[in-house]
């Protein structure tokens, strides 16, 4: 089975069960207020999980390319990636657990061919706020029984040991503990903790790679899900509760299913390879790096893994229109590229190489993602990677000069200072140690490296906390204030087109309860007069309290109607079009494709629109930060 075939099997499976296949959206969320990169297949469906009607119906499925960079520094092991493909299927108030869980097993066991003797599941164990998920437990026991397995329920994680002999082999797979109740931290999803927030239990499936694949010994299996032997390969979330005014969970009228399965992990289970980088998705990249460096993957795994993942992520990000910069998505992109370059140097790659890896990535993925190789996209990506490598080399050279200055001045240089050189100039720890030794400096290498690690850990914790705010996504960004600012971005987009010209198109947005940020295509800095014109136009619309209506249309109908949108393969057959219009005169101020949510009348924006800042975001893209006061 190859990856393209598996993608097709997944889509066919759910289409045969009444699901509409929706297209994957760009990694940069358009008209979505809560994050910088799309980080799951669920993310574009947030409004529909909250009750809006999806134009494609109540049963949906797709493959969604996603980016998660909260734990970027963890990449360099056998299962973490920043870029991944998420297999998803959703029920919007249609089927629920009794249908979803049997399909989950049927797909993985009967279609993908996973050995059922290696599969087990987790469920929510219950707490004082919400009960144990007995319904899922009963369904799973019936499912396993269908395949000749008496599935017992664990009392604790360590019960996994009862399934194995001293060598770690299953004793009797047909009569074994297969269902593990786990805590709210592990098996519950919710968007927040205020009245009206939704949530519910989830049920995950795990694959057992067998004895000898553990990262560390755990003979009692007290932490089996962290050992490396077992891999989580899919998760069904059941959104069935809502918090009332007393912060108690009450049953929802519309119960939703949100399933997600990381494709790279599923493929690792299908190929029975605990290292996802040894699956067919990554092998062409591994082989290319081996040719370029004259090294082997074995013995150099962390550097190979970083290069493969980071350049794959960078290629997809640039294909969706982002260029390296010092802000937001561009900053993350630059960080990914430069981390890949650092690890290339550890393998002896001092010539430009990133464009070479990107070329292999595009060739491997262009069947599933044709946009990678359309027009000048490929050459643009390779060109930008070369430019970034040239900038990185200059930065490293500056680092050499700064270290030399510090040494010559007699300045103390400890491990924390070495990390500063590493983070600022891309100067590897080993090279700093070598420079100090060449200068005759005495140092305790063990202590020096411990200081470096401590500084690096502190930096990672700080970065992770910031990333969790910037990239949190999910359902958390749909408060009333978010909805008002989201509608305001439509008014801003329309006003900018009227003042600056039809070349203006949205290039991204980010909304907090305090302000909106809006990126748009425009080559020049806006004048004060232009900003004042935009403000007045928007405030006039707010004062006029125009109607905001929504209509389901085909893409062709939306195009004919003059709706704002990027008309390519990102849209499904039907889309939602939001129109801001004066019902008395029929005059339309804004008509735009969007998933929502929005206010029903512009007067609900309840404030005066003010542009606080207008600046450059990247080449040919400007950025506005604005508020409603």
| Beta carbons of 125 and 137 less than 8 angstroms apart | no
- Altogether, the residues listed in the chain come to a count of 629
pLDDT of residue 464: 54
pLDDT of residue 33: 46
According to CATH, the topology of domain 480-628 is 3.30.980
Rounded average pLDDT over 516-536? 93
Is residue 614 within a helix (H) or strand (E), and if so which, with residue range? strand 609-618
Integer CA distances (angstroms), 341 to 85, 291, 413, 428, 435, in order: 24, 16, 25, 11, 20
What percent of the chain has pLDDT above 90?
Answer: 55
Backbone φ, ψ for residue 230 (5° rounding): -110, 145
Greater model confidence, 186 or 469: 186
List residues bridging with 242 in a β-sheet: 198, 250
Rounded average pLDDT over 569-597? 82
pLDDT of residue 546: 94
pLDDT reading at 476 higher than 50:
no
Rounded average pLDDT over 613-629? 89
pLDDT reading at 474 higher than 50:
no
pLDDT of residue 347: 94
Token pair 């990102």: residue? 570
Query: What's the pLDDT tens digit per position in 236-262?
Result: 999 998 888 888 998 888 899 999 999
| Beta carbons of 622 and 520 less than 8 angstroms apart | yes
Separation of alpha carbons 261 and 112, rounded Å: 13
DSSP structure class, residue 109: I
Q: How confident is the model at residue 465 (pLDDT cuts 50, 70, 90)?
A: low
Token pair 């493909």: residue? 85
SS3 for 274-318 is CCHHHCCCCHHHHHHHHHHHCCCCCCCHHHHHHHHHHHHHHHHHH
Closest CA to 274 of 214, 201, 351, 318: 214
Token pair 């990390």: residue? 419
pLDDT of residue 38: 85
pLDDT of residue 471: 42
Q: How confident is the model at residue 473 (pLDDT cuts 50, 70, 90)?
A: very low
Least confident of 322-326, 354-358, 385-389, 566-570: 566-570
Greater model confidence, 486 or 471: 486
pLDDT of residue 150: 98
pLDDT of residue 614: 95
pLDDT reading at 444 higher than 80:
yes
Backbone φ, ψ for residue 465 (5° rounding): -65, -40
List residues bridging with 249 in a β-sheet: 243
pLDDT reading at 507 higher than 60:
yes
Q: How confident is the model at residue 71 (pLDDT cuts 50, 70, 90)?
A: low
Separation of alpha carbons 575 and 552, rounded Å: 6
Separation of alpha carbons 322 and 318, rounded Å: 5
| Beta carbons of 163 and 157 less than 8 angstroms apart | no
Q: How confident is the model at residue 346 (pLDDT cuts 50, 70, 90)?
A: confident
pLDDT of residue 560: 85
What's the burial of 544, exposed, middle or buried (CB within 10 Å: 0-12/13-18/19+)? middle
**Best mean pLDDT range from 131-135, 193-197, 433-437:** 131-135
| Beta carbons of 385 and 355 less than 8 angstroms apart | yes
pLDDT of residue 46: 75
Q: Would you state the structure tokens that stand for residue 180, as one six-digit string?
A: 């593990």
Greater model confidence, 325 or 291: 291
Q: Which CATH number fits domain 3-29+37-271: 3.90.1300.10, 3.40.120.10, 3.30.930.10, 3.10.20.340?
A: 3.30.930.10
Enumerate residues 6+ apart whose C-beta is below 8 A from 288.
356, 357, 360
Closest CA to 569 of 21, 47, 4: 21
Rounded average pLDDT over 564-586? 76
């Amino acid at each position: 089975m190859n990856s393209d075939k598996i993608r097709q099997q997944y889509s066919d499976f759910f289409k045969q069960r009444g699901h509409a296949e929706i297209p994957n959206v760009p990694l940069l969320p358009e008209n979505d207020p809560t994050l910088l990169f799309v980080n799951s297949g669920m993310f574009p469906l947030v409004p529909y999980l909250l009750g809006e009607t999806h134009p494609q119906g109540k049963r949906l499925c797709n493959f969604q390319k996603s980016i998660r960079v909260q734990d970027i520094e963890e990449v360099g092991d056998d299962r973490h990636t920043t870029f991944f493909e998420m297999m998803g299927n959703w029920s919007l108030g249609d089927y629920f657990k009794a249908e979803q869980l049997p399909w989950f097993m049927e797909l993985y066991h009967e279609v993908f061919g996973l050995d059922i003797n290696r599969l087990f599941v987790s469920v929510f164990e219950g707490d004082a706020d919400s009960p144990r998920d007995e319904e899922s437990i009963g369904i799973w026991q019936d499912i396993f029984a269908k395949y000749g397995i008496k599935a017992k329920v664990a009392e604790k994680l360590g019960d996994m040991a009862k399934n194995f002999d001293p060598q770690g082999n299953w004793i009797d797979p047909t009569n074994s503990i297969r269902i593990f109740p786990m805590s709210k931290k592990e098996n519950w999803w919710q968007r927040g903790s205020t009245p009206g927030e939704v949530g519910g239990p989830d049920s995950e499936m795990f694959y057992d790679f067998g004895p000898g694949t553990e990262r560390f010994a755990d003979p009692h299996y007290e932490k089996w899900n962290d050992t490396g032997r077992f891999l989580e390969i899919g998760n069904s979330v059941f959104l069935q509760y809502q918090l009332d005014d007393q912060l108690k969970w009450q049953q929802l009228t519309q119960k939703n299913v949100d399933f997600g399965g990381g494709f790279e992990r599923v493929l690792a289970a299908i190929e029975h390879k605990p290292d996802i980088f040894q699956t067919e998705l990554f092998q062409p990249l591994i082989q290319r790096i081996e040719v370029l460096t004259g090294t082997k993957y074995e013995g150099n795994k962390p550097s190979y893994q970083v290069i493969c993942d980071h350049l794959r992520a960078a290629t997809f990000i640039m294909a969706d229109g982002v260029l390296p910069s010092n802000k937001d998505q561009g900053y993350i992109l630059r960080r990914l590229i430069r981390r890949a370059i650092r690890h290339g140097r550890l393998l002896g790659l001092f010539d430009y190489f990133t464009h070479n890896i990107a070329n292999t990535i595009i060739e491997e993925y262009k069947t599933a993602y044709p946009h990678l190789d359309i027009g000048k996209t490929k050459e643009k990506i390779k060109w930008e990677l070369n430019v970034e490598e040239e900038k990185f080399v200059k930065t490293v050279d500056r680092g050499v000069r700064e270290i030399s200055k510090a040494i010559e001045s007699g300045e103390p240089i400890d491990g924390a200072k070495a990390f500063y050189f590493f983070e600022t100039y891309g100067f590897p720890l080993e090279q700093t140690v070598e420079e100090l030794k060449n200068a005759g400096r005495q140092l305790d290498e063990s202590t020096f490296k411990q200081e470096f690690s401590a500084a690096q850990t502190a930096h990672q914790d700080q970065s992770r906390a910031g990333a969790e705010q910037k990239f949190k996504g999910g359902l958390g960004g749909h408060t009333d204030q978010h909805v008002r600012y989201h509608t305001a971005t439509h008014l801003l987009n329309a006003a900018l087109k009227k003042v600056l010209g039809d070349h203006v198109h949205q290039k991204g947005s980010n909304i907090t309860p305090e302000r909106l940020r809006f990126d748009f295509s425009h080559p020049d800095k806006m004048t004060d007069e232009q900003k004042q014109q935009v403000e007045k136009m928007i405030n006039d619309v707010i004062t006029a309290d125009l109607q905001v209506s929504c209509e389901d249309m085909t893409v062709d109908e939306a195009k004919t109607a003059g709706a704002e949108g990027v008309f390519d393969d990102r849209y499904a057959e039907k889309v939602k079009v939001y129109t801001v219009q004066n019902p008395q005169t029929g005059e339309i101020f804004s008509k735009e494709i969007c998933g929502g949510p929005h206010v029903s009348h512009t007067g609900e924006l309840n404030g005066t629109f003010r542009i606080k800042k207008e600046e450059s975001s990247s080449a040919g893209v400007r950025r506005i930060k604005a508020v409603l006061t």
